[in-house]
Amino acid sequence: MGFVEDVGTWIVDRRWYAGKSHEPRFRLLDAQPAPEATRYLVMDDAGSAPILYHVPLSAGRDGVADAADDLAFVVGTLAEMGIDTSRVSGARVFTGEQSNTSIVIDEDGQPTTILKLFRTLHHGENPDVTVQRALSDAGSPYVPRFLGSLDATWPDVGRPEGTASGTIAFAQEFLPGVRDGWSIAVEAAREGRDFTEAAHDLGVAVAGVHAALAESLPGRPGTPRDAATARVVWRRRLAIASSEAPAVATRRAAIDALYDFAVQRQWPRLQRIHGDLHLGQVLAVPNGGWRLVDFEGEPLRPMTERDEPDIPLRDVAGMLRSFDYAGAVGGGADPAAWALACREAFLAAYRGIPGAADIDDVLLRALVLDKAVYESIYESRNRPDWLPIPLAGIDAALS
C-alpha cells in the first residue's frame, strides 16, 4: 500500500475518527514540518461533508507513529505556543479522550499542563480557544487557566484566497485529583445521597461563566427572526423524533403548542455560551469547586454555527436534563425526586448571580423539551432501553 493508504488504515482505528458511518476516501491535502515530526493534513471526501484530519507523525521511525506519544514533539509544540518548557520532565496521552487527543505534561515530575491536539480541523479559531482564553483573561475561577494555542494554514480551493487557517492545538492548566460531574452525580443518585449542595455550586459556576462571557465577548439583542429560526429547528427535530419514536409522536401536538407559545416571548439577548453543557463537561476540583471544560459546542453543529451567539438558557436546559439522566441511570429509591431537588437547587443558585441571564420559565421549558426530543432520537437509534428517560423529561416539561 502507499503512504496515504497506510495512514488511512491507521486513522480509521483511532477513537477520534469521525467517519465510522461510511467507507472513507482519503487524500493527502498537505504535509508541514512540525517539531521532530511531520504534520499531515488528510482529507476524507467520502462522507456527507469533507472532513480534514490533523495527523502529526514522528520523524525517523518505521511505519506510522503518532507524534502525540513523542516527548520531543510535545515539548516543541508547547514551545511554538510560547510556553516555557525548561521544566518539562515527561508527557503521556490521556486515554479517555474521544474526539481529540489530550496529553498530560509533567514538570519536575508533577502534572501541570494539558495539551489538546484538535484532530478534525476547521477554518477559524476553535471555540474552545476563544471562550477559554476570554474567561481566563477575565479572571474567571470556573475554567482551567488558558496557557496558549497554535494555528496552522492549509490549502482550500473553496476560499477566495485559496487557503484556510484554524486552531490545531491549545494548552491549559492541569487540575489534579478532579472527577467529572457525571460520575459523581450518578454515584450520589445510586446511593441516595443528597446532591443539592453540589448542584447549587454548579449553578453558581454556570451563571458566573455566562456573566463573564456576556462581558468579555460580543453579543447582540435577540430578534423575532431568531425566534422564528429556533422554531424551525425545534419543529424539524420534533418531526424526526416523531417518525423514529412513536411515543414522541403521541406527544407531538402538545410539544408543538408549547413551542408556539415560547416563540411569542420576548427573545433574550444572545451571547457566547458553552453550547454542549452537561455533567460530563464539568470537573469537581478537590476543595476547589467546579470547572467547566470543552467549549467546542455541540459536536453535530457546523463550526460556523458554534461561533455564533446563542441563548444562555440552552446551557441551563442541558444541565437540567443531565440531572434527570444521572438520577435515572443511578437509580436509587426515588430518582425523580433526587433529580428534581438538584434542578431546583441549580436554578435557585443561577438566578442569584448578578450578570447571568434572566430565566424565562416558558422559554426554558421549550429548550428542555427540545433537548429531550433530541435525546429521544439518539436513544431510539442507539439505546432503546434508555428511551423512557427522555420521554419522562418530555412529560415533565409538558405537565
10 inside domain: no
Is the confidence at residue 164, as pLDDT, over 60?
yes
- What is d(CA 330, CA 368) in angstroms, rounded to the nearest whole number? 21
Number of domains in the chain: 2
13 inside domain: no
Q: Please tell me the predicted confidence (pLDDT) of residue 48.
A: 76
Q: For all residues of the chain together, what is the average pLDDT?
A: 93
Longest dimension (CA), the chain: 64
* Residue 123 and residue 104 share a domain: yes
113 phi and psi, to 5 degrees?
Answer: -140, 145
Domain final position from 158, 173, 188: 173
Report the pLDDT averaged over residues 354-360: 92
Confidence category of residue 19, pLDDT binned at 50, 70, 90: confident
273 inside domain: yes
pLDDT digits (tens, 9 = 90+) for 292-334: 999 987 765 667 777 789 999 999 999 999 999 999 999 988 9
Cell of 178: 478532579
Is the confidence at residue 287, as pLDDT, over 90?
no
Q: Please tell me the predicted confidence (pLDDT) of residue 31.
A: 95
* Residue 211 and residue 74 share a domain: no
Lowest mean pLDDT among 133-142, 280-289, 293-302, 380-389: 293-302
Domain final position from 122, 146, 173: 173
The continuous run of DSSP H or E covering 101 comes out as strand 101-107
* Residue 244 and residue 385 share a domain: yes
* Residue 144 and residue 63 share a domain: yes
Residue 394's domain comprises: 179-398
* Residue 337 and residue 272 share a domain: yes
Q: Please tell me the predicted confidence (pLDDT) of residue 229.
A: 95
Q: Please tell me the predicted confidence (pLDDT) of residue 3.
A: 84
Is the confidence at residue 226, as pLDDT, over 60?
yes
pTM above 0.85, yes or no: yes
Contacts for 399 with CB less than 8 Å, ≥ 6 apart = none
**CATH code, domain with 309:** 3.90.1200.10
- What is d(CA 319, CA 199) in angstroms, rounded to the nearest whole number? 10
Domain final position from 140, 173, 206: 173
Distance of CA 325 to the CA centre of its chain: 17
Confidence category of residue 20, pLDDT binned at 50, 70, 90: confident
